[in-house]
Amino acid sequence: MEDASIIVLFLFVLFLLLGSGVWVGLALMGVAWVGMELFTSRPVGDVMLTTIWSASSSWTLTALPLFIWMGEILYRTRLSEDMFKGLSPWMAGLPGGLVHTNIVGCTVFAAVSGSSAATLTTVGKMSIPELRKREYPETMIIGTLAGAATLGLMIPPSLTLIVYGVTINESISKLFFAGILPGLVLASMFMAYVAVTSQLSRKWNPAAEPPLSFGQRVRNSRFLIPVFLLIAVVIGSMYLGYATATEAAAFGVIGGLLLAASQGSLTWRTFTESLMGATRTSAMIALILAGAAFLSLAMGFTGLPRGLANLIAAWELSRFELLMVLLVFYIILGMFLDGISSVVLTMAVVEPMVRQAGIDLIWFGIFIVVVVEMAQITPPIGFNLFVLQGMTHHEMGFIARAAFPMFLIMVVMVFVLIAFPQIATWLPENIRQGPGG
C-alpha cells in the first residue's frame, strides 16, 4: 500500500511538471527531489550533485554526441540523393517497385545516423518528390517512410541503444551487434508488406521505369560506395575488435567530414550548423540521463523498485506474461513520451523485474527498442508523424492511418523476437569485443 502511495505521488509530480512545460530532464530531477525530501533523511543537494556528475561524466556516454554529430554532418551532404540514384535501378524490378527505396534507403542511412528523425528527413526529402512524380500511392509513400525511419533506433549506431546501455551499465558494442539482425528482419518484413500490397491493391499503378542493362545498374551503384565505406569503417572496426563504440564514433565523424568534403558540401556554415545541432541534441539527452540517474537513486532509497519487483514476483507471471504487460505499458507510455525519455524514465523500476524474471538484458534492449519504435508512429506524440506532417503538409490523421500497418508489423516483430531470441543474441555471443567493449 505504501508503494502504491509513492507511485501515485511520483506520477502526480511528474505529470504536473511535464504538463506545465518543464523540460523532461528537469521534471525527472524535480520528482526525485520530492521523493528524497519526503521519504528519506539523506541530504538531497549533495546526493543530487554527486549523481548528476557521475551520470554526465561516463566515458561510455562519449559515443553519443559523436554519433549525433556524424548524423548531422551526413544530413547536410548529398547522401540521400546519391542513395536514391544507386538503389532505384535495383529496386524498380521488385514487386512494389521504387517504394522499396524508402525502406532500403532508411536501413542504409540508419547504419550511419543512429537517429530516427535524421533518417526520416534525409531519405524523405529525396524520395517523396521522386515517388510522387511516378504516381505511387501516397499512403504507401508516407507509411513506409514513417515505419522504416524507426530503424534508426535499432540498427547501429543507435542512440536509444547507447542510452539503454548507459542506463543499465551494459556493453554498447554488444547492444549494437544485437540490433543488426533484428533491424534487417524488420526491414524485410516491411518490404514483404509492400510486395504483397502492390499485388493486391487496385490503386497501385505507378509510371513504368525505363529498362536498364545490368552494366548500367552496376555503374549507378557507384553512388553507394561512400556510404558503404563509412558503414564498413564504423561497424567493421567494432566487429573486428579494433575499436570500442566511442572510438568507432570518432572514426565515423572523421569519415562523415571526409565524405562531405569529397561531395563539396563541407563549408564553414555546414560545419558549424552540424556541430551546434549535435551539441543541442546531446545536451538535451545528457540532461534527461542526469535526471533519470537522480530519479533512479531516489527510487532506490524509497525501496520502490524492489517493492514493485517483489509485487510482480508475487503475481507469478511467466516470462511471456511479463513481456506482454511491458509491451502494453510501453505502447501506452510511448503515446506521450519520446523513446529515450521512456527508456530512462522506467529502467529503474523495470530492470529489477526483468533481472528477476531471468530475461537476458541484451535481448531485452532490442525488445525495448522495437516497442519504442512504435512510439515514433503512434499519435498523439509520435515524433515521426510530426516530422512527416512538416514535410508533406498532410493532416495528422492521414499520416497516422498510413503508418498504422507499420505499427502492426512491429507488433508482429515483438512476437518473432520472443519466439526466436537468437535473432538478437547470436551476434553478441559470437563477436570479438574491442578493448573496453
Instruction: Work out the pLDDT band at 363, boundaries 50, 70, 90.
Output: very high
Grid cell for residue 307: 517493492
Q: What does pTM read for this prediction? A: 0.77
Residues 39-87: tens digit of each pLDDT: 777 788 888 888 888 777 777 677 778 877 887 887 777 776 777 788 8
Instruction: Check pLDDT > 90 for residue 419.
Output: yes
Query: How far, in Å, CA of 99 to CA of 394, rounded?
Result: 19
In SS3 terms, the chain reads as CHHHHHHHHHHHHHHHHHHCCCCHHHHHHHHHHHHHHHHCCCCHHHHHHHHHHHHHCCCHHHHHHHHHHHHHHHHCCCHHHHHHHHHHHHHCCCCCHHHHHHHHHHHHHHHHHCCHHHHHHHHHHHHHHHHHHCCCCHHHHHHHHHHHHHHHHCCCCCHHHHHHHHHHCCCHHHHHHHHHHHHHHHHHHHHHHHHHHHHHCCCCCCCCCCCCCHHHHHHHHHHHHHHHHHHHHHHHHHHCCCCCHHHHHHHHHHHHHHHHHHCCCCCHHHHHHHHHHHHHHHHHHHHHHHHHHHHHHHHHHHCHHHHHHHHHHHHCCCHHHHHHHHHHHHHHHHCCCCHHHHHHHHHHHHHHHHHHCCCCHHHHHHHHHHHHHHHCCCCCCCHHHHHHHHHHCCCHHHHHHHHHHHHHHHHHHHHHHHHCCHHHHHHHHCCCCCCCC
Q: Which pLDDT belongs to residue 436? A: 46
Q: What is the pLDDT of residues 134-143, one digit of tens each?
A: 888 899 999 9
Higher pLDDT, 400 or 67: 400
Cα 307 from chain centre:
30
Q: pLDDT class for 366, splitting at 50, 70, 90?
A: very high
